Protein backbone atom coordinates (compact mmCIF):
# COMPACT_ATOMS: atom_id res chain seq x y z
CA UNK A 1 0.00 0.00 0.00
CA UNK A 2 1.10 3.63 -0.59
CA UNK A 3 1.81 6.08 2.16
CA UNK A 4 -0.62 8.98 2.04
CA UNK A 5 2.14 11.35 3.19
CA UNK A 6 5.01 10.52 0.84
CA UNK A 7 3.52 8.10 -1.67
CA UNK A 8 6.13 5.49 -0.79
CA UNK A 9 5.19 1.85 -1.43
CA UNK A 10 4.80 -0.30 1.67
CA UNK A 11 3.69 -3.89 2.30
CA UNK A 12 -0.01 -4.45 2.87
CA UNK A 13 0.70 -5.61 6.44
CA UNK A 14 2.89 -2.60 7.40
CA UNK A 15 1.54 -0.25 10.04
CA UNK A 16 4.09 2.59 9.48
CA UNK A 17 5.65 4.00 6.30
CA UNK A 18 9.15 2.71 5.81
CA UNK A 19 10.21 6.06 4.33
CA UNK A 20 8.63 8.78 6.40
CA UNK A 21 7.40 6.74 9.37
CA UNK A 22 3.80 7.97 9.04
CA UNK A 23 1.12 5.59 10.32
CA UNK A 24 -0.56 3.56 7.59
CA UNK A 25 -4.36 3.08 7.74
CA UNK A 26 -7.05 1.51 5.54
CA UNK A 27 -7.61 4.92 4.00
CA UNK A 28 -4.16 4.80 2.54
CA UNK A 29 -4.96 1.82 0.40
CA UNK A 30 -4.41 2.67 -3.20
CA UNK A 31 -7.04 2.50 -5.85
CA UNK A 32 -5.69 -0.72 -7.34
CA UNK A 33 -5.75 -2.52 -3.99
CA UNK A 34 -9.36 -1.47 -3.45
CA UNK A 35 -10.32 -2.71 -6.91
CA UNK A 36 -8.51 -6.00 -6.36
CA UNK A 37 -10.22 -6.42 -3.02
CA UNK A 38 -13.63 -5.73 -4.53
CA UNK A 39 -12.87 -8.04 -7.44
CA UNK A 40 -11.84 -10.81 -5.05
CA UNK A 41 -15.04 -10.47 -3.07
CA UNK A 42 -17.06 -10.39 -6.27
CA UNK A 43 -15.36 -13.56 -7.51
CA UNK A 44 -15.99 -15.28 -4.18
CA UNK A 45 -19.64 -14.20 -4.31
CA UNK A 46 -19.92 -15.55 -7.86
CA UNK A 47 -18.45 -18.84 -6.72
CA UNK A 48 -20.92 -19.04 -3.87
CA UNK A 49 -23.82 -18.25 -6.21
CA UNK A 50 -22.63 -20.93 -8.62
CA UNK A 51 -22.51 -23.49 -5.82
CA UNK A 52 -26.04 -22.54 -4.72
CA UNK A 53 -27.33 -22.88 -8.28
CA UNK A 54 -25.68 -26.30 -8.68
CA UNK A 55 -27.14 -27.53 -5.39
CA UNK A 56 -30.60 -26.23 -6.35
CA UNK A 57 -30.42 -27.97 -9.72
CA UNK A 58 -29.36 -31.21 -8.04
CA UNK A 59 -32.32 -31.01 -5.65
CA UNK A 60 -34.72 -30.36 -8.53
CA UNK A 61 -33.26 -33.34 -10.42
CA UNK A 62 -33.74 -35.62 -7.40
CA UNK A 63 -37.34 -34.45 -6.92
CA UNK A 64 -38.15 -34.99 -10.60
CA UNK A 65 -36.58 -38.46 -10.55
CA UNK A 66 -38.62 -39.37 -7.46
CA UNK A 67 -41.81 -38.10 -9.07
CA UNK A 68 -41.11 -40.10 -12.23
CA UNK A 69 -40.46 -43.30 -10.26
CA UNK A 70 -43.67 -42.81 -8.25
CA UNK A 71 -45.78 -42.22 -11.35
CA UNK A 72 -44.23 -45.21 -13.10
CA UNK A 73 -44.90 -47.49 -10.11
CA UNK A 74 -48.48 -46.20 -9.83
CA UNK A 75 -49.04 -46.87 -13.53
CA UNK A 76 -47.81 -50.46 -13.21
CA UNK A 77 -49.95 -51.03 -10.10
CA UNK A 78 -53.03 -49.72 -11.91
CA UNK A 79 -52.33 -51.95 -14.86
CA UNK A 80 -51.90 -54.95 -12.55
CA UNK A 81 -55.17 -54.20 -10.75
CA UNK A 82 -56.91 -53.79 -14.08
CA UNK A 83 -55.53 -57.12 -15.31
CA UNK A 84 -56.56 -58.81 -12.07
CA UNK A 85 -60.06 -57.37 -12.32
CA UNK A 86 -60.25 -58.45 -15.93
CA UNK A 87 -59.14 -61.99 -15.06
CA UNK A 88 -61.63 -62.14 -12.19
CA UNK A 89 -64.39 -60.91 -14.46
CA UNK A 90 -63.40 -63.51 -17.01
CA UNK A 91 -63.50 -66.27 -14.40
CA UNK A 92 -66.89 -65.09 -13.14
CA UNK A 93 -68.13 -65.01 -16.70
CA UNK A 94 -66.82 -68.51 -17.30
CA UNK A 95 -68.54 -69.73 -14.16
CA UNK A 96 -71.71 -68.01 -15.22
CA UNK A 97 -71.46 -69.73 -18.60
CA UNK A 98 -71.00 -73.10 -16.92
CA UNK A 99 -73.85 -72.64 -14.46
CA UNK A 100 -76.71 -73.21 -16.93
CA UNK A 101 -75.11 -76.51 -17.96
CA UNK A 102 -74.85 -77.76 -14.37
CA UNK A 103 -78.12 -76.35 -13.04
CA UNK A 104 -80.55 -78.59 -14.99
CA UNK A 105 -78.84 -81.73 -13.67
CA UNK A 106 -79.03 -80.48 -10.10
CA UNK A 107 -82.65 -79.46 -10.53
CA UNK A 108 -83.51 -82.83 -12.01
CA UNK A 109 -81.87 -84.56 -9.04
CA UNK A 110 -83.82 -82.46 -6.59
CA UNK A 111 -87.13 -82.91 -8.36
CA UNK A 112 -86.64 -86.69 -8.60
CA UNK A 113 -86.76 -86.95 -4.79
CA UNK A 114 -90.24 -86.34 -3.41
CA UNK A 115 -89.39 -87.31 0.16
CA UNK A 116 -89.09 -84.79 2.96
CA UNK A 117 -87.79 -84.94 6.52
CA UNK A 118 -90.19 -85.72 9.34
CA UNK A 119 -91.35 -82.88 11.54
CA UNK A 120 -91.04 -83.00 15.32
CA UNK A 121 -94.75 -82.16 15.45
CA UNK A 122 -95.71 -85.44 13.75
CA UNK A 123 -97.83 -87.63 16.03
CA UNK A 124 -99.49 -91.06 15.91
CA UNK A 125 -103.19 -90.19 15.58
CA UNK A 126 -104.66 -93.68 15.29
CA UNK A 127 -104.73 -96.76 13.09
CA UNK A 128 -105.38 -100.47 13.20
CA UNK A 129 -103.79 -103.91 13.56
CA UNK A 130 -104.79 -106.93 11.48
CA UNK A 131 -103.95 -110.60 11.91
CA UNK A 132 -104.70 -113.55 9.65
CA UNK A 133 -106.95 -116.52 10.26
CA UNK A 134 -104.05 -118.57 11.63
CA UNK A 135 -101.61 -117.69 14.35
CA UNK A 136 -98.75 -118.33 11.92
CA UNK A 137 -99.84 -115.33 9.78
CA UNK A 138 -97.95 -112.05 9.93
CA UNK A 139 -99.38 -109.00 11.69
CA UNK A 140 -100.18 -105.85 9.72
CA UNK A 141 -100.17 -102.33 11.20
CA UNK A 142 -101.73 -99.25 9.63
CA UNK A 143 -100.60 -96.09 11.46
CA UNK A 144 -102.23 -92.73 10.71
CA UNK A 145 -100.11 -89.54 11.04
CA UNK A 146 -101.97 -87.15 8.70
CA UNK A 147 -102.12 -86.36 5.00
CA UNK A 148 -100.01 -83.22 5.51
CA UNK A 149 -97.02 -85.53 6.02
CA UNK A 150 -97.51 -87.33 2.72
CA UNK A 151 -94.12 -88.31 1.25
CA UNK A 152 -92.29 -87.91 4.57
CA UNK A 153 -89.59 -90.48 5.36
CA UNK A 154 -89.73 -91.98 8.85
CA UNK A 155 -88.65 -95.10 10.76
CA UNK A 156 -91.21 -97.27 12.56
CA UNK A 157 -90.50 -99.76 15.35
CA UNK A 158 -93.26 -102.02 16.74
CA UNK A 159 -92.88 -104.38 19.70
CA UNK A 160 -95.50 -107.18 19.94
CA UNK A 161 -96.10 -109.26 23.07
CA UNK A 162 -98.49 -111.88 24.49
CA UNK A 163 -99.13 -112.34 28.19
CA UNK A 164 -96.11 -110.16 28.92
CA UNK A 165 -93.79 -112.20 26.73
CA UNK A 166 -92.13 -110.56 23.73
CA UNK A 167 -92.98 -111.98 20.34
CA UNK A 168 -90.39 -110.03 18.33
CA UNK A 169 -87.26 -107.92 18.62
CA UNK A 170 -88.78 -104.71 17.25
CA UNK A 171 -86.99 -104.18 13.96
CA UNK A 172 -86.61 -100.54 12.87
CA UNK A 173 -88.38 -100.34 9.51
CA UNK A 174 -87.88 -97.35 7.14
CA UNK A 175 -91.17 -96.18 5.64
CA UNK A 176 -92.74 -93.27 3.79
CA UNK A 177 -96.11 -91.71 4.58
CA UNK A 178 -98.65 -92.53 1.85
CA UNK A 179 -100.88 -89.93 0.25
CA UNK A 180 -103.74 -91.06 2.54
CA UNK A 181 -101.62 -90.15 5.60
CA UNK A 182 -101.00 -93.78 6.66
CA UNK A 183 -97.88 -95.83 7.30
CA UNK A 184 -98.25 -99.51 6.35
CA UNK A 185 -95.96 -101.81 8.36
CA UNK A 186 -95.87 -105.60 8.11
CA UNK A 187 -94.27 -107.69 10.85
CA UNK A 188 -91.01 -109.36 9.84
CA UNK A 189 -92.09 -112.75 11.18
CA UNK A 190 -95.26 -114.74 11.83
CA UNK A 191 -96.00 -115.47 15.49
CA UNK A 192 -97.30 -118.65 17.09
CA UNK A 193 -99.61 -116.53 19.25
CA UNK A 194 -101.88 -113.61 18.51
CA UNK A 195 -100.38 -110.46 20.13
CA UNK A 196 -102.34 -108.87 22.93
CA UNK A 197 -100.13 -105.78 23.24
CA UNK A 198 -98.20 -103.57 20.83
CA UNK A 199 -95.88 -100.61 21.39
CA UNK A 200 -95.33 -98.28 18.43
CA UNK A 201 -92.28 -95.99 18.25
CA UNK A 202 -92.03 -93.36 15.52
CA UNK A 203 -88.65 -91.89 14.52
CA UNK A 204 -87.56 -89.34 11.96
CA UNK A 205 -85.15 -90.38 9.20
CA UNK A 206 -82.25 -89.51 11.52
CA UNK A 207 -83.44 -92.07 14.15
CA UNK A 208 -84.64 -89.34 16.52
CA UNK A 209 -87.72 -90.43 18.48
CA UNK A 210 -90.79 -88.35 17.57
CA UNK A 211 -93.70 -90.18 19.23
CA UNK A 212 -94.62 -93.44 20.93
CA UNK A 213 -97.94 -95.16 21.63
CA UNK A 214 -98.99 -98.41 23.31
CA UNK A 215 -102.07 -100.37 22.18
CA UNK A 216 -103.90 -103.19 23.97
CA UNK A 217 -105.23 -105.88 21.60
CA UNK A 218 -107.58 -108.81 21.82
CA UNK A 219 -105.60 -112.02 21.08
CA UNK A 220 -107.80 -112.96 18.15
CA UNK A 221 -107.62 -112.75 14.39
CA UNK A 222 -109.14 -109.83 12.49
CA UNK A 223 -108.75 -106.05 12.44
CA UNK A 224 -108.64 -103.93 15.58
CA UNK A 225 -108.56 -100.14 15.55
CA UNK A 226 -107.04 -97.78 18.08
Q: What is the pLDDT of residue 84?
A: 54
Supply the pTM of this predicted model.
Answer: 0.49
What is the dihedral angle through the alpha carbons of 158, 190, 162, 216, rounded to the nearest 10 degrees? Answer: 50
Give the pLDDT band (50/70/90) at residue 204. very high
The answer, yes or no, to whether residue 184 has pLDDT greater than 80, is yes
Give the pLDDT band (50/70/90) at residue 11. confident
Q: What is the pLDDT of residue 96?
A: 44
Q: What is the pLDDT of residue 88?
A: 53
CA distance 149 to 85: 50
CA distance 75 to 67: 12
Using DSSP bridges, classify how beta strands 172-176 and 165-166 pair: parallel, antiparallel or unpaired.
unpaired
C-beta of residue 18 within 8 angstroms of C-beta of residue 8: yes
Q: What is the pLDDT of residue 135?
A: 82
C-beta of residue 124 within 8 angstroms of C-beta of residue 220: no
pLDDT tens track for 80-126: 555 555 555 555 544 444 444 444 333 333 333 456 777 789 999 99
pLDDT tens track for 126-171: 999 999 888 888 999 999 999 999 999 999 999 999 999 999 999 9
Q: What is the pLDDT of residue 29?
A: 47
Q: Of the ranges 9-13, 45-49, 164-168, 213-217, which one carries the lowest mean pLDDT score?
A: 45-49
Which residues have CB under 8 Å from 225's CB, separation 6+? 126, 127, 128
- In whole angstroms, how far apart are CA 34 and each of 22, 29, 40, 44? 20, 7, 10, 15
pLDDT, mean over the chain: 80
The answer, yes or no, to whether residue 175 has pLDDT greater than 60, is yes
- In whole angstroms, how far apart are CA 92 and each of 46, 97, 101, 115? 68, 8, 15, 34
Q: What is the pLDDT of residue 38?
A: 54
Q: What is the pLDDT of residue 226?
A: 97
Helix (H/G/I), strand (E/B), else coil: 172: strand
Amino acid sequence: MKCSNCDAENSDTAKFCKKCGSPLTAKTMDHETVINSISGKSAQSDNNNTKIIIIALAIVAVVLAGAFIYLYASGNSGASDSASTSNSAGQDSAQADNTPQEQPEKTATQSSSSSKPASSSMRIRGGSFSTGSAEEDKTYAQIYVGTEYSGTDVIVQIFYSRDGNSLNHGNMVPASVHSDGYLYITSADAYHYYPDYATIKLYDSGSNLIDTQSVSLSPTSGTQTF
